[in-house]
Amino acid sequence: MTVDEVLQWLETNGTPEGVASMARFNIPVDNAYGIGMAPLRAMAKRIGTDHGLAMALWDAGRYEARILAAEIADPRLLDAATMDRWATDFDSWALCDHTCLALFDRTPHAWEKVHEWAPRKEEFVRRAAYALIWALSVHDKKADDAVFLEALDLIGHAPADDRPLVRKAIDMALRAVGKRNPNLNAAARRTCARLMAAPDPSRQWIGRHALRELESDKVQARLARRKA
Q: What are residue 78's phi and psi, to 5 degrees? A: -80, 115
Contacts of 129 (CB under 8 A, 6+ apart): 113, 114, 115, 116, 117, 118, 120
**Domain residues of the chain, as ranges?**
1-74, 91-222
pLDDT in tens, the chain (228 residues): 999 999 999 999 999 999 999 999 999 999 999 999 999 999 999 999 999 999 999 999 999 999 999 999 999 999 999 999 999 999 999 999 999 999 999 999 999 999 999 999 999 999 999 999 999 999 999 999 999 999 999 999 999 999 999 999 999 999 999 999 999 999 999 999 999 999 999 999 999 999 999 999 999 999 998 776
- From residue 184, how far is each of 61, 111, 145, 214 by CA, in Å? 39, 17, 7, 10
Nearest to 74 by CA among 37, 49, 109: 49
Q: From the CA atom positions of the chain, what is the Rg in Å?
A: 19
Short-list 163, 162, 176, 197, CA closest to 130: 176
Query: How far apart, in whole angstroms, are the C-alpha atoms of residue 15 and residue 17?
Result: 5
Q: Tell me the whole-structure pTM to 2 decimals.
A: 0.94
Residues 192, 196, 197: CA angle, nearest 5 degrees: 120
